[in-house]
Amino acid sequence: MGKILEIARRAKKISYNLSTLSSSTKDGALKEMAKALIDNSEFIIEENNLDVETAEALGKDRAFIDRLRLDTARIEQMADGLLTIEALPDPIGSTISTWKRPNGLEIGQRRVPLGVVGIIYEARPNVTADVVGLCLKTGNAAILRGGSDAIHSNKAVIKVLWDAAKKVGIPHGAFSLIEDTSRKSAETLMKLNGLVDVLIPRGGAGLIQNVVENATIPIIETGVGNCHIYIDGQCDISMALEISMNAKVQRPGVCNAIETLLIDEKISNTFLPQIVESLEAEDVEIRGCEKAKKIVGCIEASEEDWHAEYLDYILAIKVVDGIEEAIAHINEYGTGHSEGIVTSNYFNAQKFLTEVDAAAVYVNASTRFTDGYEYGFGAEMGISTQKLHARGPMGLEALTTIKYVVSGQGQIRK
Amino acid sequence: MGKILEIARRAKKISYNLSTLSSSTKDGALKEMAKALIDNSEFIIEENNLDVETAEALGKDRAFIDRLRLDTARIEQMADGLLTIEALPDPIGSTISTWKRPNGLEIGQRRVPLGVVGIIYEARPNVTADVVGLCLKTGNAAILRGGSDAIHSNKAVIKVLWDAAKKVGIPHGAFSLIEDTSRKSAETLMKLNGLVDVLIPRGGAGLIQNVVENATIPIIETGVGNCHIYIDGQCDISMALEISMNAKVQRPGVCNAIETLLIDEKISNTFLPQIVESLEAEDVEIRGCEKAKKIVGCIEASEEDWHAEYLDYILAIKVVDGIEEAIAHINEYGTGHSEGIVTSNYFNAQKFLTEVDAAAVYVNASTRFTDGYEYGFGAEMGISTQKLHARGPMGLEALTTIKYVVSGQGQIRK
């Protein structure tokens, strides 16, 4: 693992230089990199094809290959992402607040880069450009460890980005791809205390669990979403139908889609048959509690269903005796990602927003909005489901920390 | 370890209630608890004596017994700490910022408790009251796992605080002491994913290293301080002497005291003999680089000395060829705690503040000021030396996270 150590040591060293790069240098590099992606899209697509062919030969499913494949449109999106990041204000170096102490010391909180940011991710080569762009804008050195399934694509994207970045004075080692995609390489990265300031795992539950259990460096847990919508007894039924359908079927394979629908029993006899009809029209399998089963005759849900993140055309449904039971269910089974209520009752809206423990809580809107772009952050490093440091969609600010800058005139402690 | 699991489950459950407690309930409890400490100081001192006697029988050193001992004055300080926390504004529930998206969604960032906060600490029973007070004010459930050396003291303090808190409606389980002080109990606590939201180790380097290596729940690393002061070639020599002495000898056993002094060679011939004279008058042992040894004839420092956190009357001294070498030395050997420069040169002050990578950087002031009280935070949970979530002295805000609260009128994602 000498190579990874070498990459990390270089990244640490170079991170001090990156922290002082001017905004114009960083923005100039982002523009060059966006242009280079477009100019070299043929090369990137050729390399990507090698990965796609391997995945097909291995019999990977269609969703997997869809995430893996790069075409002209996807590469344009990657370039647009870099330009969006370029257009955002530089968060680094601004002073958040200052105050003066009785002894005359002036204390300021200055926003600074984290230092070295590591990311372990799976077969989504577009993430490569997003991560490089976000880290560069925030003056962080980036160490990327992608999956073996996307290795040719990742190498091609990094080569194109680096050829562009070096032309405008970005120091060597500002971003590096670990080309060794073995399990061992990921495990080495997880334990580089003193060299890597934060590690972000981005991918499936298995990857994230592995990082949570084995990392000794600080991490930010992302993504696992067992999300719910609660349909309150007092609500606009057509809005409830539209939001529930959107949250389940608009894109079922993503973390902010819902897995369980909770329905107030006061309206279950009217609402349940309507939603089930709409869901079945979209081929969604229903697994209901005993009460739901009685009303619509679906499969009965087991304890496992309340815990499940299906990421598929399956929905668990539970009839509850009111908002208290709904909130208790969510706080017990939810993963702290995105939770919603559809209601026209003021007090229930307030209660839900206050008492549900999740990164994002919604009143009368689809949970599908939990996303850096939708929140106006321009791009995202992932969606944090932990409470430390960053919660919800992580944009530029999540890649910064603060430093206390204290100016004195000779003060000593008594 | 069933008992610990039971404590953690109860804490998790009660944390939802704590998050909605009114400020007046929390502040009322803090006042009652402060009063109870004073009213019961005799009982607390009696129980503390049991710990002190054991420590003496075990031959613990004077500094250890000093940290362990509670007397009337110490108990008054603990009560004052609670009253200081009571007087601070409640950070919970305030909305930090809100914005409206083009689709009409209103997104707000609301400050909320972390949930369940765990702390593993050593033989400082006064920490018990600080932690309970800070966690209660921020609506967090607290799980305290103190050291075996202070078990009688901790049990007594918790009993007194709880008897007071329950009278004013604080729910059972808001704060709990783990009475099992075995290594196993600490290790169980470190792995309670899903139940404990953050764990803060507070104590010596060994304790912190153990938590870093073994915890699977999010942690905040605290305290290890290999701090430096750099005396620039252009500076007020008497200020440099006063700050260096204060940073080394005012209280050598704490993390914000300096361990290495860096001196610009342009003034080493004049400054070094003066500082060494002052240090020797205070019985400080000097370990110098080759150049320093030539000037003042001290013991020669080894590579280990540059890494050492002595926490004692020992100081390493290195003569450097200017600010570049000073900054490089600090960024290589420092632990990212507190670093200072004494200079009258504007550009060197700016350069040091920008390029040194530490929680707190000082110009013309002692590093001893890195402290929650000195920064005006009222109290502190410890001093974070990591970059994630909190950096430097951790006050109330470090015990909070944010929640995105999104209000819609039926928005769905296209």
Contacts of A410 in chain B (CB under 8 A): 236, 239, 242-243, 364-365
Q: Can you give the pLDDT at residue A366? A: 98
Neighbouring CB atoms inside 10 A of B119's CB total 27
Architecture per CATH, domain B2-220+394-407, reads as 3-Layer(aba) Sandwich (3.40)
pLDDT band for position B376 (50/70/90)?
confident
Residue in B101, B324, B388 to test binding to A, most A beta-carbons within 10 Å: B388
Contact B363 A246 (CB under 8 A): no
Q: What tokens does B251 get?
A: 């209280």
Neighbouring CB atoms inside 10 A of B178's CB total 22
Return mean pLDDT, chain A: 95
Return the DSSP state at A301.
P
pLDDT tens figures, A272-288: 999 999 999 999 999 99
Residue type present at position B330: I
pLDDT band for position B1 (50/70/90)?
low
Neighbouring CB atoms inside 10 A of B257's CB total 25
Give this prediction's pTM. 0.90
Tell me, rounded to whole angstroms, the distance of Cα B382 from its chain centroid. 2
Residue A319 has pLDDT above 60, yes or no: yes
pLDDT tens figures, A55-105: 999 999 887 898 899 999 999 999 999 999 999 999 998 999 999 999 999
* Nearest alpha-carbon partner for A78 in A177, A169, A154, A170: A154
Average pLDDT over residues A339-358: 97
Residue A112 has pLDDT above 90, yes or no: yes
Which stretches of B114-212 are assigned E, i.e. beta strand? 116-121, 141-145, 175-177, 198-202
pLDDT tens figures, B62-101: 878 988 999 999 999 999 999 999 999 999 989 999 999 9
Residue B223 has pLDDT above 80, yes or no: no
Contact A412 B242 (CB under 8 A): yes
Average pLDDT over residues B209-226: 90
Q: What is the ipTM of this complex?
A: 0.91
Average pLDDT over residues B51-61: 95
Q: Can you give the pLDDT at residue A253? A: 85
Residue B378 has pLDDT above 80, yes or no: no
Contacts of B407 in chain A (CB under 8 A): 349, 362-365
Q: Can you give the pLDDT at residue A124? A: 87
Q: Can you give the pLDDT at residue A224? A: 85
CB-nearest partner of B366 from A364, A374, A412: A412
Q: Can you give the pLDDT at residue B92? A: 96
CATH 3.40.309.10 fits A227-369, yes or no: yes
- How far lies A105's CA from each of A409, A411, A413, B237, in Å? 8, 7, 11, 20
pLDDT tens figures, A188-220: 999 999 899 999 998 888 888 899 899 999 999
pLDDT band for position A379 (50/70/90)?
confident
Average pLDDT over residues B283-291: 97
Q: Can you give the pLDDT at residue B332? A: 94
Residue B353 has pLDDT above 60, yes or no: yes
Residue A1 has pLDDT above 70, yes or no: no
SS (H, E, C) A14-32: HHHHHCCCCHHHHHHHHHH
Q: Can you give the pLDDT at residue B254? A: 87
Distance from CA of A55 to the nearest CA of B (A): 30
Q: What tokens does A214 get?
A: 């084995």
- How far lies B207's CA from each of B186, B203, B221, in Å? 10, 6, 10
Q: Chain B residue closest to A111 (CA)?
A: B354
Q: Which residue in this structure is represented by tokens 């953690």?
A: B8
Rg (CA), chain A: 24
pLDDT tens figures, B147-157: 999 999 999 99
Q: What tokens does B233 get?
A: 């070639």
Return mean pLDDT, chain B: 95
Residue B340 has pLDDT above 70, yes or no: yes
Residue in B232, B350, B412 to test binding to A, most A beta-carbons within 10 Å: B412
A–B interface: beta-carbon pairs under 8 A:
195
Rg (CA), chain B: 24
pLDDT band for position A250 (50/70/90)?
very high
Contacts of B408 in chain A (CB under 8 A): 362-365
Return the DSSP state at A40.
T
Neighbouring CB atoms inside 10 A of A73's CB total 8
CATH of domain B227-373: 3.40.309.10
Residue ranges of the domains in chain B? 2-220+394-407, 227-373
Percent of chain A with pLDDT over 70: 100
Q: Can you give the pLDDT at residue A187? A: 94
Average pLDDT over residues A157-178: 96
